[in-house]
Chains A and B, each alone.
Chain A
Amino acid sequence: MAGKGVTLMEKQDSRFVLCARGLSVSFFDHAVLRDVSLNVPAGGIAVLVGRSGSGKTTFLRSVNRLNEEVSGCRTEGSVELRLPGGKVDVWPGVGPDAVPLAELRRRVGMVFQTPQVFPVTVCRNISVPLSVTMGCPRSELDDRVKDALVRVDLWREVADRLDMSAERLSGGQQQRLCLARALALEPDMLLLDEPTASLDVRSARHVEDLLLALSEQLPVIMVSHGLAQSLRLASFMAVMEEGRLRCEISNPDGMEEGDLERLLDGAEDVRGEEAN
């Protein structure tokens, strides 16, 4: 059974952007993810949903190996990415397809649950990572900063305030700045941890539109608490529950919020069985 699955997968290599096999993560022997196997199809936005504490953030962070930065973390299983730039062995990260940690993290951009701007100017928030991780020459920095800000539709608002501390931007602007910072590094994939959690309805919609546009250019995996939002954005959904993958929904179109609610509450749903 397992062998058949693997050959099937290899045939359909390009269908998936992310393949996690038997992924378990624990912090100080407290299991947070238990044996999660998930294939995320390419194209569109993949949304992770689940109750608070179900391990969504932890799953997302095992894709760019950020969990390792936290002490007491143990990861088992394997994670693999099929990015435009080629196959990447994320974890265990020892094979021929493994890439250095810094490069992996640059190629897999992440935006956090709460805006995490650096306490420097708006401009340097983008230019410093650019020049440090990509060795971008000084002469190109200004253009790249502008490009990134334009992409997230922030340029008009901050064009004349590039030298202001980024901490003085509004919450929504900060979150878009974080997105711009990640995009400036030309990632092959985006991980978004509740990118609209700290935004009001209008800025949230704004960011959603941005994400939909972005998902045409690169794979996007995001965590969302809002059921309506998930349904609006998702072309694939994974429901998590207490560290396990509860079900996958490969075609959420036409689903109702109520369906999703019931799913989160633990009711069985036939549609959940599809992709596996």
Chain B
Amino acid sequence: MRNATSVRRMSRSGEAGLAMLRLSVVLAMGGMALLFLMVVAFALPAFVQNGGGGPFSWSWSPGHGEFGILPMMVGSVAVGGLAVIPGWVTGVCLCCWLLSPTRAGRPGPWRVLVAGLVRVMTAVPTVVYGFAAVFLLAPSLRMWLGGSGFSWLAASVMLSVLILPTVVLVLQAGLAPRLEALSLSGVALGMNRLELLWHLVLPASRATLLSAAVLGFGRAVGDTMLPLMLAGNAPVMPDSLLSGVRTLTAHMALVTSNEVGGQAYDSLFMAGLLLLVINGTVSLVIRHMGGRA
């Protein structure tokens, strides 16, 4: 009798746990759905509005009633794309180096230091990077390459630094267990850990490599502060690495701080939607490429 009660009590607490889980799923999914709905709903009027000056045009000039955000979209893709290439490559190399001490289980002081630094880097607010770059990177670029220094290049360089720890940590989480699984048998054949990583682990980890790239790109495109501080914010198509660009995120920050309501404000919802679309598309395309290769 007593047993039966305790079993029932246990199952009741099990039910409560399950209800909690369901509730959190519903909350999270509901929140997401609401967010999407809101963005789409607010962006909808911009779709309907036709004729010149809508968000899908190439000129942003609120004074003349032109609210085209396509240049900003190109800016976002350009800045994010240019950032993710060096960020990802450096991340892969750094991760390989971190995972390949000459003696297993005993990473030297340098590796410990660098691994710690990477972890600290994730906690640095982007405004700090931006601040440092405004005083160091931009003037150097101006000196060496001319121009104002506040450019596509400057923003991309700093963004690649920003996404580096993300890339490294994602890769490490994916590659380390795989390397551990085959390190002993590989080492017994006379290969070292770097060779194992390069020839056996990386080729078998395409999904991890792609996720790192996708996440890195997502972070780069989604970041607001660095492009805002470094990219020059000219709402035009970039024609060289040194020309100023404005990203969608920076654009949203600039416009929200200046206006409340009105057509310019409305176009921001479209900008938000575009951001979502860019990230979604890139993620799909990269994954699709990976699946096919």
Seen from chain A, the residues whose Cβ lies within 8 Å of a Cβ on chain B are 64, 66, 68-71, 102-106, 109-110, 112, 116, 118-120, 124, 128-129, 132-133, 178, 181-182, 185
The answer for the CA separation of A119 and B200 in the assembled complex, in Å, is 8
Q: B175 to chain A: closest CB distance in Å?
A: 12
Q: B183 to chain A: closest CB distance in Å?
A: 7
Minimal Cβ-Cβ distance residue in A for B192: A102
Q: List 19 A-B contacts (CB under 8 A).
A: A66-B188, A69-B104, A69-B105, A71-B106, A102-B190, A102-B192, A103-B190, A105-B188, A109-B189, A118-B200, A119-B200, A120-B200, A120-B204, A128-B199, A129-B191, A132-B195, A133-B189, A133-B190, A182-B189
Inter-chain contact B104/A71, CB cutoff 8 Å: yes
Task: Indicate which residue in B105, B182, B183, B195 contacts A119 across the interface (CB closer than 8 Å).
Answer: B182
- Asked whether any CB of chain A lies closer than 8 Å to the CB of B261, the reply is no
Task: Indicate which residue in B103, B187, B203 contacts A120 across the interface (CB closer than 8 Å).
Answer: B203
Inter-chain contact B184/A66, CB cutoff 8 Å: yes
Inter-chain contact B188/A185, CB cutoff 8 Å: no
The answer for the CA separation of A106 and B186 in the assembled complex, in Å, is 10
Q: Which residues of B contact A109 (CB under 8 A)?
A: 188-189
- Asked whether any CB of chain A lies closer than 8 Å to the CB of B185, the reply is yes
Q: B191 to chain A: closest CB distance in Å?
A: 5
How many residues of B are counted as interface, with CB atoms below 8 angstroms from the partner's CB atoms? Answer: 22
- Tell me the chain B residues, 154-211 only, with Cβ under 8 Å from chain A: 178, 181-192, 195, 199-200, 203-204
Q: A42 to chain B: closest CB distance in Å?
A: 23
Task: Indicate which residue in A68, A70, A103, A116 contacts B185 across the interface (CB closer than 8 Å).
Answer: A116
The answer for the CA separation of A34 and B259 in the assembled complex, in Å, is 80
Closest 9 CB pairs of A and B: A71-B105, A106-B190, A116-B185, A105-B190, A133-B190, A102-B190, A69-B104, A110-B188, A129-B189
- Tell me the chain B residues, 213-247 only, with Cβ under 8 Å from chain A: none
Q: Which residues of B contact A102 (CB under 8 A)?
A: 190-192
Seen from chain B, the residues whose Cβ lies within 8 Å of a Cβ on chain A are 103-106, 178, 181-192, 195, 199-200, 203-204
Q: B201 to chain A: closest CB distance in Å?
A: 9
The answer for the CA separation of A133 and B185 in the assembled complex, in Å, is 14
Task: Indicate which residue in A124, A132, A182 contacts B191 across the interface (CB closer than 8 Å).
Answer: A132
Q: Which residues of B contact A110 (CB under 8 A)?
A: 188
Inter-chain contact A119/B204, CB cutoff 8 Å: yes
Q: Which residues of B contact A66 (CB under 8 A)?
A: 184, 187-188
The answer for the CA separation of A103 and B187 in the assembled complex, in Å, is 11
Minimal Cβ-Cβ distance residue in A for B203: A120
Q: A145 to chain B: closest CB distance in Å?
A: 14
Known contacts A69-B103, A128-B199; decide if A64 and B188 are in contact (CB<8 Å).
Answer: yes
Q: Which residues of A contact B199 (CB under 8 A)?
A: 128, 132
Q: A180 to chain B: closest CB distance in Å?
A: 12
Q: A27 to chain B: closest CB distance in Å?
A: 11
The answer for the CA separation of A273 and B183 in the assembled complex, in Å, is 39
The answer for the CA separation of A66 and B190 in the assembled complex, in Å, is 10
Inter-chain contact B190/A119, CB cutoff 8 Å: no
